[in-house]
Amino acid sequence: MSNEPNVFEIVCPHCHTTIWVDSATESVIRSEKGAAKPKSSLDELLEKEHVRRQGFDQKFEATAELEKQKRQKAKEKFEKALADKDLLKKDDGSGD
């Protein structure tokens, strides 16, 4: 049917349905549903869910580690600021 010069065959990339459109009348002449997506077995679905949960666990652990590192850096900066403050106080007190 698509060998007629004014008929275009269009395949939907999502559902794989094919339609033929007449360019002269701009109407759909024919349509065919695409092949149905094969159903996943329960084992496949469980495996996908297991992989998905592992990904969440890894992301959670990475986030927790990052927060721990941030807290450690903040603590170090705070302690350094306190030490610098104490040092400045000593310098000001000895100059009198």
pLDDT per residue as tens digits for the range 67-84? 999 999 999 999 999 888
Residues 49 and 82 placed together within one structural domain of the fold: yes
Closest to 9 measured CA to CA, from 33, 25, 24, 29: 29
CA dist., res. 87 & res. 12, Å (int)? 72
Residues 94 and 78 placed together within one structural domain of the fold: yes
Count of the separate structural domains present in the chain: 2
Residues 92 and 66 placed together within one structural domain of the fold: yes
CA distances 76 to 62, 72, 83, 85, Å, are 21, 6, 10, 14
% residues pLDDT > 70 (the chain):
90
Structural domain range at position 58 = 40-96
pTM for the whole structure: 0.43
What is the reported pLDDT for 4? Answer: 62
Residues 88 and 46 placed together within one structural domain of the fold: yes
Q: C-alpha dihedral over 47, 48, 51, 57, to 10 degrees?
A: -120
Residues 1 and 26 placed together within one structural domain of the fold: yes
